[in-house]
Amino acid sequence: MNFSVYIPTDIEFGCGSLSRLHEKKLPGKKALIVMTNGRSAKRLGYLDRLVKELELAGAEHVLYDRVLQNPTKDNVMEGADLARSEGCDMIVALGGGSAIDAGKAIALMAANDGDYWDYVRTGSGKGLPIEHDPLPLVAITTTAGTGSEADAGAVITNVELNEKIGFGTPKSFPVLSIVDPELMVSVPKLYTVYQGFDVFFHVAECYISRIQSYAVDPLALDAIKRVTKYLPRAYEDGNDMEAREQMAWANTEAGLCLTFGSLTVEHAMEHALSGVYQDLVHGLGLLLIAPAYFSYCETKPELAERMADMAEAMGSPDPKAPGAFTAELKKLMDACGVGDLKMSDSGIRREDFPEVVRLSHNHKGYQNEFMPITDQDVMDILEASYR
Ligand SMILES: [Fe+2]
């Protein structure tokens, strides 16, 4: 087996780690703080704490807090313009995957001319060479969701084109990531679940993808065990610090899996769905298609061993039995209050499925299926998911 492993990020993990930020060597003197337009990080005092840490470290700051839940190309260009006009020499992203992904893309565009879609390599992106390294990025994650603090990818939506595309370069890794489970305590119940399942699907997809790596396998199975055990607890009681800490690490493991491995068509389909329905929450989109997608995977003899490994990690009494993994998945979804979701409740319409299939080709997951997957297969998964 051949694979490469590269992770240049200094990951500071643990409760209270935000309060140690000033002790770290920061990669610049003036930060553009990137946040979403939500108010929670301000209301909960996280922004004030970050500003204090920057001041203790002797760094200035400017705030860009207009990133949308699904960050847009316009967010990226606006943030990059601000970073340039203010003379910022580093980006500090505070928030979940939306803020961190936007931070990565802003870091790139603050250092390079043109339009972000000039550099994006899939969809209608031009894939031009990147002339200058991005500004250095510090990522402070407040959710256990995307694993964005431990990978180089950023998912950005081009609203005009309905394209939601993941893109990054080896220079797009954060130089420093703060993973402080205390910052995750206030994530509302439903978002805890959506984000937790995003973690779960990241590692499950990496485990069954065509891009195999010894580096992925132990991390993926370990994260599956953690999510299965601790996500229902974090759902039941958001103040369960052990559950929050375990989910925080599962999330970082998932980020590492994304770095060492690759996602599959489940994520390609979800990005297409939330490209068409731009208010659809990513984790919810994944949950809507997951049972049908993994049932499809269970029909592939080539994946049988890996599906059984995952079922075993979830505690299946008979992991090699047909449908064992999806049975455990259903149990986990039920335990987290999302066992009975309907696409129609999210406004998804069957007549848009051909467009979803078309857009799913913009995501590399389409090529990373262990066995080749056809447009008809993807359509069948969508149809089987529809209620
Ligand atoms: Fe995801």
CA of 23 to the centre of ligand 1 (A): 32
Q: Given this model, what pLDDT does residue 145 score?
A: 85
Ligand 1 centre distance from Cα of residue 199 (Å): 7
pLDDT tens column, 358-387 = 999 988 899 999 999 999 999 999 999 999
The CA 202 to ligand 1 mean position distance, Å, reads 6
Amino acid in position 4: S
Span 239-268, average pLDDT? 96
Determine the number of helices (DSSP H) and then strands (DSSP E) in the chain. 14, 8
Of all helices (H) and strands (E), which one includes residue 252? helix 241-260
Q: Is the model's pLDDT at 132 over the cut of 90?
A: yes
pLDDT in tens, 172-203: 999 999 999 999 999 999 999 999 999 999 99
- Nearest partner of 77 among 87, 86, 89, 67, judged by Cα: 67
Measured CA distances, 254 to 20, 261, 296 (Å): 24, 10, 23
If you measure from the C-alpha of residue 217 to the centroid of ligand 1, how many angstroms do you get, rounded to a whole number? Answer: 18
Q: How far is the CA of 262 from the centre of ligand 1 (A)?
A: 11
Q: 3-class SS at 171?
A: helix
d(CA 100, CA 19): 19
What is 189-385's CATH number? 1.20.1090.10
Distance 59 CA to ligand 1 centre (A): 33
Give 120 Cα–ligand 1 centroid separation in angstroms: 18
Give the integer Cα–Cα distance in Å for 314 and 329: 8
Rounded to whole angstroms, the Cα distance separating 13 from 140 reads: 10
What secondary structure letter does DSSP report for 134? P
| Number of Cβ within a 10 Å radius of residue 56 | 12
Please give the distance, rounded to the nearest whole angstrom, from the Cα atom of residue 129 to the centre of ligand 1: 26
Strand-pair category, 10-13 with 163-167: unpaired
Domain ranges of the chain: 10-184, 189-385
For the beta carbon of residue 85, count every other beta carbon within 10 angstroms.
9
CA 226-197-174 angle, 5° bins: 80
Write down the pLDDT at residue 146.
85
Name which of 214, 210, 219, 274 is nearest 251 in CA terms: 219
Query: Residue 334: how many CB atoms within 10 A of its CB?
Result: 12
Ligand 1 mean position, distance from CA 335 (Å): 21
What is the CA(250)–ligand 1 centre distance, in A? 13
Q: What stretches of the chain adopt beta strand conformation (E)?
A: 10-13, 30-36, 60-67, 90-95, 137-141, 154-158, 163-167, 176-179
The architecture CATH gives domain 10-184: 3-Layer(aba) Sandwich (3.40)
First to last CA, the chain: 42
Residue ranges of alpha helices (H) inside 45-169 are: 46-56, 73-85, 97-109, 116-119
CB crowding 238-269: b at 16 or more within 10 Å, else e: bebeebbbbbbbbbbbbbbbbbbbbbbbbbbb
| Ligand 1 centroid from CA 97, angstroms | 9
* 282 CA to centre of ligand 1 in angstroms: 7
Q: Does the structure show a pLDDT above 90 at 248?
A: yes
Q: How far is the CA of 47 from the centre of ligand 1 (A)?
A: 25
Q: How confident is the model at residue 6 (pLDDT cuts 50, 70, 90)?
A: very high
Q: What is the token pair recorded at 364?
A: 């590399």
Q: Which residue has the tokens 């990818």?
A: 153
Spacing, Cα 60 to ligand 1 middle (Å): 33
Instruction: Check for a shared fold between 10-184 and 189-385.
Output: no
Q: How far apart are CA 56 and CA 248, in angstroms?
A: 26
CA–centroid distance, 146 to ligand 1, in Å, is: 6
What's the CA-to-centroid distance between 74 and ligand 1, angstroms? 21
**Which of 255, 265, 216, 356 lies closest to 9, judged by CA?**
255
53 CA → ligand 1 middle, Å = 30
CB 10 within 8 A of CB 153: no
Residues around ion ligand 1, judged by CB within 5 A, are: 198
Per residue in 275-308, pLDDT (tens digit) is: 899 889 999 999 999 999 999 999 999 999 999 9
Distance 260 CA to ligand 1 centre (A): 15
Residues 137-171 have pLDDT tens digits of 999 999 988 889 999 999 999 999 989 899 999 99
DSSP, collapsed to helix, strand or coil, labels residue 352 as helix
DSSP string, 272-283: HHHHHSTTS-HH
CB-side neighbour CA atoms (13 Å) of 243: 20
> Cα(308) to centroid of ligand 1, in Å?
23
What is the predicted pLDDT for the residue at 40? Answer: 85
> What distance in angstroms lies between residue 29's CA and the mean position of ligand 1's atoms?
32
> Distance (Å, rounded) from C-alpha 225 to C-alpha 239?
20
Amino acid symbol at 280: L
Ligand 1 mean position, distance from CA 247 (Å): 15
Q: For the chain, give the mean pLDDT.
A: 96
Q: Which two tokens stand for residue 117?
A: 């879609």
Q: Of 280, 256, 261, 255, which Cα lies nearest the Cα of 270? A: 280
Number of C-alpha atoms within 13 angstroms, CB side, residue 54?
A: 25
Report CA(203)–ligand 1 centroid distance (Å).
10
Between the CA of 198 and the centroid of ligand 1 the distance, in Å, is 5
Contact between residue 65 and residue 124 where contact means Cβ atoms under 8 Å apart: no
List pLDDT tens digits, range 78-127. 999 999 999 999 999 999 999 999 999 999 999 999 999 999 999 999 99
What is the CA(39)–ligand 1 centre distance, in A? Answer: 23
Residue 22 Cα to ligand 1 midpoint, Å, equals 30
Centre of ligand 1 to C-alpha 213, Å, is 19
